[in-house]
Amino acid sequence: MNSASGCSRLEAEVARIIGGIGTSHIPAIGLAMAKNQYRDPYWKPFFDAYQPVRAWLGETRPTVAVVVYNDHGLNFFLDKMPTFAVGAATEYCNADEGWGLPTQRPFPGNAAMSWHLIEQLAAADFDLTTCQEMFVDHGFVVPMQLLWPDAPSWPVRTIPIHVNTVQHPLPSPARCLKFGEVLGRAIESWPANERVVVLGTGGLSHQLDGRRAGFINKPFDLYCLEKIVHEPELLARYSIRDLIEFAGTQGPELIQWLIMRGALGADVRKLESNYHVPISNTGSGLLLLEKAA
Ligand code: DHB
Ligand code: FE
């Protein structure tokens, strides 16, 4: 290293987003993993689609995962439901939610980076709940297990971001896309040499109860999977009511995918995309986007 490179190394030391992953988070996936049903005919097409995504993670080796998900009642309940909540802890614990899922070992956090993201988001007028203690539910845990199933310890530090999709009113898709854009710039202004992957979990179409329980809209899901790559603003035009009509009462979980997509910026390349239906009551989507250099 020559004398000048000391300075340039310091200048270069900001976090970089390497890509984003949209994935289903349904608890049945966690149960199938616990039962080692990877080759079961019902599950094989679903799990096989994650192989190339895991290979990409193995090659790109992210150091931080920003996980955008919705808490379903483990950490927040209907009595207190923040619109956006950001974890700022050194560790996040999982706990029994009643699905019969084995409780996962704690996930390491990156509290200093969390506070940077919180400050940047607040400066852009996003009013946040900050959580120095936070339990993470299946919306966070199932994707982490899916992406790093064999890791002896979690290979990334995590920053959980909860988005309310449970207690109306929910944040609009347009606001979530904007949240993602600010989040992306915040990540890439964090002065540390981190490689960051952003996860958006949930969806796609599903309705777990009520008159249309079991409702799945495959054409709409495929439309979302296609358009979110290069035209996410088309999806951001929908209202929450539209998403409920087209994708069921839990269909608004798509807003987590929109935050992930917003964080990646304009130039992305689609590396993998998969749709598998039905898993449980849900049209399950998978998308791997690489951020253009
Ligand atoms: C299911 C889907 C979800 O998004 C969820 O949070 C819980 C259950 C399901 O399809 O069973
Ligand atoms: Fe969910």
Taking the chain (293 residues) in runs of 10, the rounded mean pLDDT of each run is: 46 90 97 95 95 98 98 97 98 96 97 98 98 98 96 96 98 98 98 98 96 97 98 98 98 98 98 90 96 86
**Is there an atom of ligand 1 within 6 Å of 206 CB?**
yes
Cβ(282) – ligand 1 distance below 6 Å: yes
What CATH number is given to the structural domain containing 151? 3.40.830.10
Would you say residue 184 lies in a domain?
yes
Does any domain span residue 20? yes
Task: For the chain, count helices (H), then strands (E).
Answer: 11, 10
* Ligand 1 atom with the shortest distance to the CA of 282: 10
* Residues, CB within 5 angstroms of ligand 2 (ion): 202
Please give the Cα distance from 130 to 118 (Å, whole number). 8
Nearest CA to ligand 1 atom 2: 26
The whole-number pLDDT of residue 4 equals 45
C-alpha closest to that of 118 among 80, 77, 82, 159: 159
162 is an active site residue: no
Q: 204 CA to middle of ligand 1, Å?
A: 10
Tell me the CA–centroid distance for residue 202 and ligand 1, in Å.
8
Within a domain: 6: no
CB 192 within 8 Å of CB 10 = no
The model carries a pTM of: 0.96
Tell me what pLDDT residue 293 has: 76
Q: Is the sign of the CA dihedral 136, 140, 141, 142 positive or negative?
A: positive
Residue 7 lies in a domain: no
Domain membership flag for residue 155? yes
Query: What is Dmax (Cα atoms) for the chain?
Result: 70
User: What's the confidence (pLDDT) of residue 279?
Assistant: 81
The whole-number pLDDT of residue 5 equals: 46
Structural domain boundaries enclosing 255:
15-291
Q: Are 18 and 195 a contacting pair, CB within 8 Å? A: yes
Atom 1 in ligand 1: residue holding the nearest Cα: 26
- Asked if the structure places residue 2 within a domain, the reply is no
pLDDT at site 12: 65
Per-residue pLDDT at 183: 99
**Is 17 within 8 Å of 196 (Cβ atoms)?**
yes
| Whole-number pLDDT of residue 292 | 87
Q: Residue 248 domain-assigned?
A: yes
Is 276 noted as a catalytic residue in this protein? no
| DSSP secondary structure of 228-254 | HHH-HHHHHTS-HHHHHHHH-TTGGGH
Contact between 162 and 255 (Cβ < 8 Å): no
10 domain residue, yes or no: no
- Per the CB < 8 A criterion, the answer to whether 178 and 261 are in contact is no
Residue at 202: amino acid letter: G
User: What is the tally of structural domains in the chain?
Assistant: 1
Among protein residues, the one with the nearest Cα to ligand 1's atom 6 is 26
Q: How far is CA 167 from CA 19, 59, 135, 136, 255, in A?
A: 30, 39, 18, 18, 14
Does 256 contact ligand 1 (Cβ within 6 A)? Answer: no
Instruction: State the Cα–Cα distance between residues 40 and 202, nearest whole angstrom.
Output: 23
Is 202's C-beta closer than 6 angstroms to any atom of ligand 1? yes
